[in-house]
Amino acid sequence: MRTLVVFAFALVGCTPETSIRPDTKARTPIQAVSCASVTPTVTVMTFGLAYSPDPTTVAAGSIVQFVMAPQHNVTSSSPGLAVGFGATTCLEFPEPGTYTFECASHKFTGTVIVTDGPEVPEGPGAKLVCPSSGRNAFDTYGVAAFVAVNEEIFTLVLADLDANGTTNLGDSFTKIGTGIPPSTSDDLATFKGKLAAFLVWAYGGPASITYTDGKPYVGPQDMVIAHTGLGITSAQYDFFVANIIVPALTNKGVTGDDLAMCFAPVVTAPTFKATMVGK
Amino acid sequence: MRRVLLAGAGVLGLAVAIHVPGMWTALGADAKSAFCPFGAAPRLATRSAPTTPRPALGFTLDVTTRSEIDAWAQARGVTCQARRGGGVLECEQRAALATTTLWFRFAGTTLAGIQTSRRTTADGVATAFAETEAALTTVLGDPSRRQGDPAASALARGALRQAMVEYRAPAYRAVVRATNMGDGFVLTESYAN
């Protein structure tokens, strides 16, 4: 399993000081394991006064590697969840739950969400290699670029709606927040956060992010549910990709070769398109 | 008097647009003769329109009426359905090597915008792009923006390879894109006020 080292500084604001609630449930304790003998699912680091990524979502039994700067540590009421100042420690999370922790010196907090389902699958673009870097899209362009692309998508959508009304885009965006059909129940901010999380995960980033609104979003999402009732046609999908997705990527600096090699295979995959068209 | 001038400008704009080479190619080789009230007349190059022309696939924004679009569709055997409470007419035209979806948007009974998505081959999309660009340039002058290489060989180099041209004029914007969709090629056009 690949180690993800993510500097999510653009997504993580200063976390307000909060007290950590005592964990009253009896759980199998978190265990420290030798980092030399395991492959961590995620690596949590510190960047400024924040943990990153935060929150971190892993399946039960996963290993999370904590790499602390000299001035930061991890303390928690959850037994076994502790990392010393400047230490690198690998911890196994055997049971599902939400584990919160904080830096004893600076009081910023972090969260590890342990799910009881299967391990979060790798994004479909995680193994695609960008010619410009030899790495996947997320590792090549970074979280700030993904935020910029996500925002650009909405800028272009709003411009299209302004110029053309619902001519082509239909209800996909104008019914945001109405709940009719149910796939439109998310408000705009949630919709943005979810799309950002999906893009980050799909292209090789972490399975969860904290978006610019300070809220956590999970990357793997059911695209069929998200598009059911919208009646998107194949022609609309083509128009959207050509007029919104490609311009959003190129406007934010993605080069032609990278576009073709490490972005396009996800967007143009018939199986992916089938999750959105005709639902 | 103003109404007469506007009507005159509209008719002239429509005539110019109809006679722009390539405009009709995307819709079928015999489209011009099917709609053009002047037959295969030469382009009106010697007269200047009193207002900025707003060509859109051979129609003219703010001039062409819904009944004219209906007549065009009927003459061409194009299947159309009203959408968005009747404010949008969605049409599909099938040809041997291309399927085109057209969305006509109306303000009342007048054409306010067109968007199209046309699936075709690499050569087909490159040819259509070049013809459309040439046609729009003839009417509107050089594009305000151009990106990418529209040659079929360049588009075929990889999925999501794209070429685009954009034309801007007062109360008018046209954007044409040729895109490699991985499983085919798409020409999209957008004409709006």
pTM above 0.90, yes or no: no
Mean pLDDT of chain B: 79
Select the residue from B80, B90, B102, B117 to test the A interface by mutation, using most A Cβ atoms within 10 A.
B117
- Select the more confidently predicted residue: B133 or A171: B133
Select the residue from A130, A174, A232, A239 to test the B interface by mutation, using most B Cβ atoms within 10 A.
A239
Average pLDDT over every residue of A254-268 = 94
The tokens describing A239, both together, are 């128009």
ipTM (interface predicted TM): 0.75
Q: Answer whether A250's CB lies under 8 Å from B162's CB.
A: yes
CA atoms within a 13 Å half-sphere pointing along the CA-CB vector of A163: 19
Residue B130 has pLDDT above 50, yes or no: yes
Give CA angle at A156 (A150, A162), nearest 5°: 140
pLDDT of residue A118: 65
User: Lowest mean pLDDT: which of A7-21, B11-25, B125-139?
Assistant: A7-21
Q: How confident is the model at residue A15 (pLDDT cuts 50, 70, 90)?
A: very low
Of B88, B173, B188, the CB nearest to A167: B88
Where helices occur in B19-161 by DSSP H, the ranges are 31-35, 66-76, 122-140, 152-155
Report the amino acid identity of residue A9: F
pLDDT of residue B23: 37
Please state the φ and ψ torsions of residue A178, each to the nearest 5 degrees.
Answer: -85, -30
> What does the pLDDT look like over B67-82, one tens digit per residue?
999 999 999 989 999 9
The tokens describing B43, both together, are 């382009």
Tell which B residues from 23 to 52 touch A, by Cβ distance under 8 Å: none
Residue B27 has pLDDT above 50, yes or no: no
Average pLDDT over every residue of A93-111 = 93
Cβ of A260 within 8 Å of Cβ of B158? The answer is yes
Cβ of A246 within 8 Å of Cβ of B179? The answer is yes
